[in-house]
Amino acid sequence: MISKGLGKTNKTILILFHYLNYLLPKYFMLKTSVDDFYMRQAYNLAERAFEEDEIPVGAVVVLGSQIIGKGYNQTVRLNDPTAHAEMLAITAACEHLASRYLQECTLYVTLEPCVMCAGASYWAMLGRVVFGASDQKNGFERFGKNLFHPKTQFTTGCLANECADLMTHFFAKKRM
């Protein structure tokens, strides 16, 4: 055995090293898989928007392992320029919790949020935002992450290619 002849402290460090070496890759793999799973749920909603001839953006709000709010763009259907996927998902989540704050929640959205949706996320104090495709023209990152609450954490690029392809296909279909 490798640890034979080592002191008690060194054995503890060796055991801890092996334990972390075993657990950390599984933790990061699990985290990625969880993000992919919930982004896939948002993507399914974006496909629904696509089918209804709305800009294909979908969003879900997750608390723990439960989706507590979901939405897809419905600006045309509702004649409401604020009916973005994120806004609808945040509203549903707040109603579900009977609270205006979502500090423990994660928003998964297929497209980088716009300034309006970033503002709503700020006031809801979302704990985390995960988005798929970047939006160079209308995305919040043009203005900086300070549009979100300072404690909000970000993960970008989750299923980015699939999300971007859906947007590209939608606008190509519009130009035909």
Does the annotation count 86 as an active-site position? yes
Q: Cβ neighbours of residue 42 under 8 Å, at least 6 residues apart? A: 58, 59, 60, 70, 85, 108, 109, 110, 132
The DSSP 8-state label assigned to residue 69 in this structure reads: E
H or E element, residue 90: helix 85-97
Please name the residue that has the structure tokens 């209804």.
52
Q: Which helix (H) or strand (E) holds 130?
A: strand 128-133
Identify which of 142, 91, 145 has the alpha carbon closest to the alpha carbon of residue 120: 91
Choose the catalytic residue: 86, 95, 112, 162: 86
Q: Which 8-state DSSP code applies to residue 145? A: G
Burial pattern 135-161, b for ≥16 Cβ within 10 A else e, equals beeebbbeeeeebbbeebeeeeebbbe
Active site residues: 86
